């Protein structure tokens, strides 16, 4: 337990990396808010498991691409817990296609959720996070790798990296850090769905540790950045990928 009075809002925490982050921050003593878009069952089960383990958790539905829903999300958290100290902008989607074959829906959905969704929560956090707070955004190591078919997805995440550095400066004087984590291939539905076992094996071996990341690997990085040991890291992008790039 590090900080039993602090409140952490994790977007997209019903599944995958976000769920691991919520579990980890709850174990570290934060009161956690498990935001989700549609997966109410898994979100409720996760909150129940955290409470059973002695933690504090609240579920809150909001589609981060909807600016008004995000404002209501922050209202809900403040009403329940009195304020917000940590925002983890984990919610995201990935749709792959060569740029020349990218349909409007593929482009719009990723810009709406990955980029505008992050902007919506950052805008609220800039106004409402308590002094001394922490913000962690989510990018991807593909911003560095520049793999074919990842163009639109990686572009939304490159924009998130830019927002990270600029917001860190705009929050001068409030002792709030803003960083981004950029995972490599991590064993969640977002990465695994639609890939053959051969392709998964190939991507897993691209890093010298020769395995996929686990959601818990990434949650540990987030726990470091939001905890007391991460307080001097600000405006940075931390690639967590086993050495892939």
Residue 30 as a binder of ligand NAP (CB under 6 A): the answer is no
Mask: binding to ligand NAP, 117-146, rule CB under 6 A, as x and -? x--------------------x-x------
Taking CB under 6 A as the criterion, the residue among 92, 133, 227, 242 binding ligand NAP is: 92
Active site residue 153: yes
- Can you tell me which residue has the tokens 């805008």? 123
Provide the minimum distance between the beta carbon of 11 and ligand NAP in the complex, in angstroms, as a whole number: 6
Q: How far is CA 36 from CA 11, 17, 41, 54, in A?
A: 7, 12, 10, 22
Distance CA 188, CA 216 (A): 11
Residue 188 as a binder of ligand NAP (CB under 6 A): the answer is yes
Residue 38 as a binder of ligand NAP (CB under 6 A): the answer is yes
Provide the minimum distance between the beta carbon of 212 and ligand NAP in the complex, in angstroms, as a whole number: 8
Q: Measured between alpha carbons, how far apart are the two ends of the chain, in Å?
A: 33
**100 Cβ contact partners less than 8 Å away, ≥ 6 residues apart:** none
Tokens of 165: 């550095």
Taking CB under 6 A as the criterion, the residue among 36, 74, 81, 150 binding ligand NAP is: 36
Q: How far is CA 99 from CA 61, 102, 184, in A?
A: 32, 5, 21
Taking CB under 6 A as the criterion, the residue among 7, 57, 113, 143 binding ligand NAP is: 113
Residue 242 as a binder of ligand NAP (CB under 6 A): the answer is no
Distance CA 208, CA 20 (A): 24
- Of 2 and 147, which CB lies nearer to ligand NAP in the complex structure? 147
Q: Choose the catalytic residue: 30, 36, 150, 153.
A: 153
Distance CA 167, CA 10 (A): 18
Binding site for ligand NAP (CB under 6 A): 11-18, 35-39, 63-65, 90-94, 113, 117, 138, 140, 183, 185-186, 188-191
């Amino acid at each position: 337990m590090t900080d039993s009075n602090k409140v952490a809002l994790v977007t997209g925490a019903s599944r995958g990396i976000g769920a691991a982050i919520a579990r980890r921050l709850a174990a570290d003593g934060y009161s956690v808010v498990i935001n989700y878009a549609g997966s109410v069952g898994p979100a409720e089960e996760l909150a129940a498991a955290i409470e059973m383990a002695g933690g504090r958790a609240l579920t809150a539905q909001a589609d981060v691409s909807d600016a008004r829903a995000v404002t209501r999300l922050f209202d809900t958290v403040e009403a329940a817990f009195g304020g917000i100290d940590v925002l983890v902008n984990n919610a995201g989607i990935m749709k792959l296609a060569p740029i020349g074959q990218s349909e409007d829906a593929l482009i719009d959905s990723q810009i709406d959720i990955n980029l505008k969704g992050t902007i919506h929560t950052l805008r609220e956090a800039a106004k409402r996070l308590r002094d001394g707070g922490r913000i962690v955004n989510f990018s991807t190591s593909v911003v560095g790798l520049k793999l074919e078919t990842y163009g639109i997805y990686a572009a939304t995440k490159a924009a998130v990296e830019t927002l990270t550095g600029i917001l860190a400066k705009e929050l001068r004087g409030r002792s709030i850090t803003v960083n981004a984590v950029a995972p490599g291939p991590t064993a969640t539905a977002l990465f695994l769905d639609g890939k053959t076992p051969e392709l998964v094996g190939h991507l897993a071996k691209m890093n010298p540790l020769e395995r996929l990341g686990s959601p818990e690997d990434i949650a540990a990085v987030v726990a470091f950045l939001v905890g007391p040991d991460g307080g001097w890291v600000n405006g940075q992008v931390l690639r967590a990928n086993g050495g892939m790039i």
